[in-house]
Amino acid sequence: MGKKLLAIGIALVGIAVSACAGKMRPGGLGPSGATYLLPTVDADLQMVAVLPKDTIGEELPTEGLGQIKDETWEALLGGFTQQKYSEQMAFPPGTKITIRNLSKTTPHTLDVVKVIAEPPAVFPKNPNLSVKAHGHGRLGVGYASGIIKPGKSVTVLLATKGIYEIGCAFHYAEGMHDVLVVGKFARHGPQATPPPSTKPTTSPTSKSSYEP
Ligand SMILES: [Cu+2]
């Protein structure tokens, strides 16, 4: 009887070991030394990769961010995101954010175009946006980041709640204007749909929320 239990015990250990060995294999080296193909989930994870917390990425819509026609703002938004594609952005007051130029080739800025009380977000035709930095690192009327070179960042404190129309001093006319909501309950998104094209995204979900 003792022997029988021992045999069962050994058999169980054997199963456990082989189960383990089975788990170890994907992504590692096979018996012949050949590498296994990476699981497809890795590709998916890369596709949904987002920016670090409290970061705004900016880039020309045609560089990859796309544009979204947002029903809440009754406006075409583009060039700025806190995820992967253009969207209305939102952060709680007091957040110190990083503005990162996602482009490999093109300098950008983030300027406040104007402050509005509620939708719609009407973007003026030819606003006077400063290329030079203004506003001492605090977002407000007249704030300008200054030139952000490709791959570089600047930080700005979102000190005051409100709805800010923002834009790039260089590429405002090329669709780099967006809405940044500073409010406790505000939520960012929805995002533009890839691949970016000249056609703005219009879908039943392209309605963002605000509540500054
Ligand atoms: Cu720009």
What's the pLDDT tens digit per position in 29-71?
Answer: 444 444 444 444 444 444 445 799 999 999 999 988 999 999 9
Q: How far is the CA of 165 from the centre of ligand 1 (A)?
A: 15
HSE (side-chain half, CA atoms, 13 Å) at 36? 13
Q: How far is the CA of 170 from the centre of ligand 1 (A)?
A: 5
Q: How far is the CA of 56 from the centre of ligand 1 (A)?
A: 13
Lowest mean pLDDT among 5-9, 76-80, 165-169, 206-210: 5-9
Q: How far is the CA of 41 from the centre of ligand 1 (A)?
A: 34
The answer to whether 88 touches 77, Cβ cutoff 8 Å, is yes
HSE (side-chain half, CA atoms, 13 Å) at 157? 7
Separation of alpha carbons 166 and 180, rounded Å: 7
pTM: 0.71
What's the pLDDT tens digit per position in 90-146?
Answer: 999 999 999 999 999 999 999 999 999 999 999 999 999 999 999 999 999 999 999
pLDDT surpassing 80 at residue 15: no
Domains and CATH numbers, the chain: 2-45 (no CATH), 51-182 (2.60.40.420)
